[in-house]
A and B are shown apart, each in its own frame.
Chain A
Amino acid sequence: MAVSGLVMLLYLVVHMIGNLEIYFGAGEFNAYAHWLRTVGEPFMHDEWTLWLVRVVLVAAVVAHAVSAYQLSRRDIRARPTPYVHRRRRASYATRTMRWGGIILGLFVVWHLLDLTTGTVHAGGFQPGHPYQNVVDTFSTWYGDVVYIVAMLALGLHVRHGFWSAAQTLGVGSGARDRALKTVADVLALLLTAGFIAVPVGVMTGVVSWR
């Protein structure tokens, strides 16, 4: 869980920074998107780097999901009889890891069908014109709602996930605990804010293709 989670987290940070290019106009954003296909040339052939990243990401998602499933099965089996007197346990971020993770998984499917393949895209999907596609998606109310809810879930997931990964890998200590928690909070906040900045930009009209 820790290693695959950190791989995805690293990708998300890069993804979020790249997304902010949308604030600098269609030209720059589309050029950035095009560059993603040509990274590493001439050493890497066209799209090789992109596909390498995709393969690593799919492996990370599968590993994360499989270990989450195994861990959950084990945890549920370990307490066959629940307590009669129930009380709310742990923080909200901690309690929502499982459902939050499932929501994020479903979101990724929608996100790919929407903006990579264009299968469920609102309006006419134009391959090679991501700027217009993004604006199209966030011009629909459900596009904004789905995205923003998912990004809030992402923030919560990262908040508990990053700190937990550090504990799993044995990096934490009493003295370092506060620093790790702060890094987790800052990462969660920056990722959520950075990603949500895109639909907010479209909604407020700062980002538009007219």
Chain B
Amino acid sequence: MKLTLRVWRQKNARADGAMATYEVDGVSPDMSFLEMLDVLNERLALDGEDPVAFDHDCREGICGACSLVINGDAHGPERTTTCQLHMRSFRDGDTIDVEPWRAAAFPVVKDLVVDRSALDRIIQAGGYVTAPTGSAPEAHATPVPKPVADQAFEHAECIGCGACVAACPNGAAMLFTSAKVNHLNVLPQGAPERETRVLDMVAQMDGEGFGGCTLTGECATACPKGIPLTSITRMNREWLRATRKASDR
């Protein structure tokens, strides 16, 4: 396959960026999107040019490191992560636009790499269970009913890639935050901090400069892990409940 890539190039956080055009030849349809970028980078390096910087790690769709908005879609046209997107999803001769996640809360570090530490700070605000660490507890000590475990797992699937923020026309982080809140709030282990968790994480999310939710549903459509839009509804319910409880105290 022969492709024309239009890639966002930006030297550093302060520099102005622009789209740069590259021709990439000899692309196999079996390559992943990142492998195709590797091919481009190899050539750029040989030519003495600066390779295109992009985030990646496990390359098997479970770590949440890879990003990229491809032709206007977070993680590209398939419902998966960019590392699991294959070039067979494109046609020979296609022109492909590659851009970084765009959000005020995700400043560009270089080229396609953005700083997603805002999501880490939301986790730090309440995405944990305060419990003695040390040896693993006996698994049967806290019984969890199967439907509850299923719910927790559905939300726990979130890999924190930030595609929801990138896809949202408002740059909101509601789907990420709701997945993290619900994952712990439905479990007995998360119960003691059920109220403070949702209040603190939402407050942190607001403080990071993410946009507000208008329920367009773009986040759930882009999510490579299929976190449902109703996750946001459930978080809203948790937030209202926690606010009510806090005012009772």
Asked whether, in the complex, the Cβ of B103 is within 8 Å of the Cβ of A94, the reply is no
Confirm or deny: B218 has a beta carbon within 8 angstroms of a beta carbon on chain A.
yes
Q: Which of A42-50, A72-80, A141-149 lies at the interface?
A: A72-80
CB distance from B201 to the nearest CB of A (A): 16
CB distance from B79 to the nearest CB of A (A): 16
Contact of A171 among B72, B73, B211, B233 (CB under 8 A): B233
Interface class of chain B by DSSP = mixed
Confirm or deny: B105 has a beta carbon within 8 angstroms of a beta carbon on chain A.
yes
Bitwise, B159-174 to A at CB < 8 A (1) or not (0) is 0000000000111100
Q: Which of A132-140, A160-168, A192-200 lies at the interface?
A: A160-168
Confirm or deny: A14 has a beta carbon within 8 angstroms of a beta carbon on chain B.
no
Q: A74-B211, A163-B215 are in contact. Are A90 and B236 (CB under 8 A)?
A: no
Specify which chain A residues have a CB less than 8 angstroms from the CB of B73 in the assembled complex: 87
Interface size range of chain A in the complex: 20 to 34
Bitwise, B200-219 to A at CB < 8 A (1) or not (0) is 00000000011110111110
Specify which chain A residues have a CB less than 8 angstroms from the CB of B72 in the assembled complex: 83, 85-87
B192-249 CB contacts (< 8 Å) to partner A = 209-212, 214-218, 228-230, 232-234, 236-241
Contact of B236 among A75, A78, A168 (CB under 8 A): A168
Specify which chain B residues have a CB less than 8 angstroms from the CB of A166 in the assembled complex: 233
Confirm or deny: B69 has a beta carbon within 8 angstroms of a beta carbon on chain A.
yes
CB distance from B22 to the nearest CB of A (A): 15
Confirm or deny: A172 has a beta carbon within 8 angstroms of a beta carbon on chain B.
yes
Asked whether, in the complex, the Cβ of A84 is within 8 Å of the Cβ of B171, the reply is no
In the complex, A167→B228 CA distance in Å?
A: 12
Confirm or deny: B111 has a beta carbon within 8 angstroms of a beta carbon on chain A.
no
In the complex, A173→B186 CA distance in Å?
A: 14
Specify which chain A residues have a CB less than 8 angstroms from the CB of B230 in the assembled complex: 167, 172-174, 177
In the complex, A125→B211 CA distance in Å?
A: 47
Asked whether, in the complex, the Cβ of B8 is within 8 Å of the Cβ of A75, the reply is no
Interface pairs (16), CB distance under 8 Å: A71-B212, A75-B172, A78-B171, A78-B211, A79-B211, A83-B99, A84-B8, A85-B97, A87-B73, A95-B216, A166-B233, A167-B215, A167-B233, A170-B240, A171-B233, A177-B230
Residues of B bordering A, CB below 8 Å: 6, 8, 19, 69, 71-73, 97, 99, 102-105, 169-172, 209-212, 214-218, 228-230, 232-234, 236-241
